[in-house]
Amino acid sequence: MRKGPPLRDDLPPEPSRWSQVPLATGLGWVGLFVVYLVMYLSSGGYPNARAGVGAVVPAAIYLVGAIGLTVWRPSRALGSGLLLGLGVWLLIGGGPCIADLARTPGAA
């Protein structure tokens, strides 16, 4: 019988942290849509200066938090999922936003 710490082969396999990626992607995507839908409805449905600043601040906080989680090794999968969620949100949410701005007179 061998004494000392167990060998790598004796240890049970660690669960994959990458299973957090789809969950974080979905939660980040839905969370951003909810935040911006509430902001859109509270601004009366038309863009103004306050809505523009209000649109940048939550996205910047989300981006900094997601990058921070990606850099920190134990939460790398969670941060990666949040960054993927941001990308999905930009692709899917950008279309209706551009369409809304295009139909608003004097917005551009």
30: tokens are 């839905």
Reported confidence tier of residue 10, pLDDT bands at 50, 70, 90: low
pLDDT tens digits, 54-65: 777 888 899 999
pLDDT tens digits, 23-53: 889 998 888 888 888 877 777 766 666 666 7
pTM above 0.85, yes or no: no
Mean pLDDT of all residues in 4-19: 65
Residues in the chain: 108
Is the pLDDT assigned to residue 99 strictly greater than 80? no
Q: For residue 31, give the 3-state DSSP assignment.
A: helix
CB atoms within 10 A of CB 28: 24
Long-range contacts of 25-31 (CB under 8 A, 24+ apart): 25/81, 25/82, 25/84, 25/85, 25/88, 26/85, 27/81, 27/85, 28/62, 28/66, 28/81, 28/82, 28/84, 28/85, 28/86, 28/89, 29/85, 29/88, 29/89, 29/92, 31/85
